[in-house]
DNA sequence: GATCTCGCTGAGAGCTTGCTGAGGCGGAGG
DNA sequence: CCTCCGCCTCAGCAAGCTCTCAGCGAGATC
């Protein structure tokens, strides 16, 4: 059985996107659009973790958190908040809680969710070690090696590679990659992706077979050459 | 029992073509030409999914969607829209919704329909793996093998073969193939098809018996030689 | 068997898609 | 304030794919 996450956001698009990303990674997911709704669903769904938008139509996310605390003391919460609401504005962080500022990339969000679950000891078998062929990644130390040789990656390169490692062999579309690795409202030139694929290949391939295959007109896949 | 789809488009030709493609794939289909008509039929037909043209004679597709939301909250909608109406113009996407720009290939449309149904958990049996004789196709990784040997296909070759695999043994007419694999208003030389059949045979047959049979004067079929 | 029609395939033009090197910009750290 | 590093943009180049065309071969018809 996998961990359950309740997503509370009044923007259906956002709730949807987050929900898809999480269920893709094997989490059980339910969504709620209002504070009331959230409080209702907590009883039946019994999530291990709650993703909670700070701004909700009927009440502040914090109020939800407080009422929650009264009932189901120990469910950790990750708050979703706009970037300009500074960190200290996020009051009421209990032990185990965390927050993420919008806009975020789905990769980042999923990473936070895993981290909080691990921290609060509610995580299932954790996949901290990701491997494919002779490529290894440790998501706790952020170390990456190929055939034993250490590889230095920048943050973006790292998150891109991690998304590939979580979806090996599968063909990932440009859109999918941009949505997951970049911030979800990234509006810039889609060719960044190609640049980063190029960076990754340059760093990974000197130690062996090419691993990132181009599927022309569709996307990219992490797989061994044929 | 299979999934039901309501097709709403005021162009009878388009509605017809889509309807045929979907019923061919085992979906239950009804069509409506106006917004009023659509709202009427939803009650009796109770579709699992709605294909909705954005431009309708009596009202905007979005209005239909809104009224719908009021009544039958959770039916996902796929909007059909002209290519130049940019993505963000497609407002009001609810959870589970999607959109497709015209012109599209029927293969693409069917793929979207399946995806949305799967996403909203209303899908029937999953068909990610397609096989025929010793030929195998995995639609997630886009890997194709014959007798275990991997085969590299370009995008068009892949989509053509997939359509064959979804309709094995059946004789498929040129028109049918062109409509499904190419964009439905493809105006070019119909002989592309022959070229691609030739490409496919060249790639598939070295590993065994010929699989794509010509039915002279009619079309092609995927079946073992006799 | 002759003729005609339909289908097959090799070659190649043109276009789309992807790759990569160079550089500007901005933030972090000294 | 200056420097360095990582992120993103841009433009030119390369490669791959799609489609066209034409000539040939194989079936069909009489």
- What chain A residue is nearest to B92 in terms of C-alpha separation? A13
**Above 90 in pLDDT, residue A199?**
yes
Q: How far is CA A218 from CA A24, A93, A104, A148, A167, in A?
A: 20, 43, 25, 32, 16
More confident: A94 or A42: A42
Q: How far apart are CA A55 and CA A62, in angstroms?
A: 9
Average pLDDT over residues A110-120: 84
- What chain A residue is nearest to B96 in terms of C-alpha separation? A16
The pLDDT, as a whole number, for residue B1 is: 44
**Chain B 105-124 residues in 7 Å CB range of strand C:** none
Return the beta strands (E) in chain A as ranges: 4-8, 28-32, 49-53, 77-82, 98-102, 129-132, 135-138, 143-146, 149-151, 171-173, 212-215, 219-222
B198 touches strand D (CB under 7 A): no
The pLDDT, as a whole number, for residue A88 is: 46
Question: For B155, which of A16, A217, A221 is closest by C-beta distance?
Answer: A217
Q: B189 in contact with A at a CB cutoff of 8 Å?
A: no
Strand C nucleotides in reach of protein CB atoms, 7 A cut-off? 6-11, 17-22
Long-range contact list for A212-216, CB < 8 A, 24+ apart?
A212/A164, A215/A171, A215/B142, A215/B155, A216/B154, A216/B155
At B29-58, the pLDDT tens digits run 989 888 878 877 776 677 889 998 887 766
Average pLDDT over residues B200-212: 88
Sign of CA dihedral B170, B174, B176, B177: positive
pTM for the model: 0.67
Question: For A171, which of B93, B142, B150 is closest by C-beta distance?
Answer: B142
Q: Measured in angstroms, what separates residue B198's CA from nucleotide C12's C1'?
A: 17
The pLDDT, as a whole number, for residue B215 is: 93
At A30-66, the pLDDT tens digits run 888 888 888 878 876 778 899 988 877 666 667 777 7
Nearest CA of chain A to the CA of B94: how many Å?
6
Q: How far apart are CA A191 and CA A201, in angstroms?
A: 16
At B160-203, the pLDDT tens digits run 999 999 888 989 999 889 988 988 777 667 789 999 999 999 99
């Amino acid at each position: 059985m996998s961990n359950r996450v309740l997503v509370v956001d009044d923007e259906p698009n956002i709730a949807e996107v987050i929900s898809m990303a999480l269920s893709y990674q094997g989490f059980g997911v339910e969504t709620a659009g209002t504070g009331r709704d959230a409080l209702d669903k907590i009883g039946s769904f019994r999530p291990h973790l709650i993703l909670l938008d700070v701004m909700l139509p009927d009440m502040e996310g914090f109020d939800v958190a407080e009422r929650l605390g009264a009932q189901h003391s120990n469910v950790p919460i990750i708050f979703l908040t706009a970037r300009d609401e500074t960190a200290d504005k996020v009051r009421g962080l209990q032990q185990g809680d965390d927050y993420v500022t919008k806009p975020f990339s789905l990769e980042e969000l999923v990473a936070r969710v895993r981290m909080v679950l691990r921290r609060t000891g509610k995580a299932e078998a954790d996949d901290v070690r990701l491997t494919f062929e002779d490529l290894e990644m440790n998501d706790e130390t952020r170390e990456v090696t190929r055939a034993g040789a250490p590889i230095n990656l920048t943050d973006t390169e790292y998150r891109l590679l991690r998304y590939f490692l979580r979806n090996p062999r599968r063909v990932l579309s440009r859109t999918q990659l941009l949505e997951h690795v970049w911030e979800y409202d990234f509006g810039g030139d889609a060719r960044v992706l190609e640049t980063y694929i190029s960076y990754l290949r340059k760093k990974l391939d000197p130690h062996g077979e090419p691993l990132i295959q181009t599927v022309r007109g569709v996307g990219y896949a992490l797989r061994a050459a044929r």
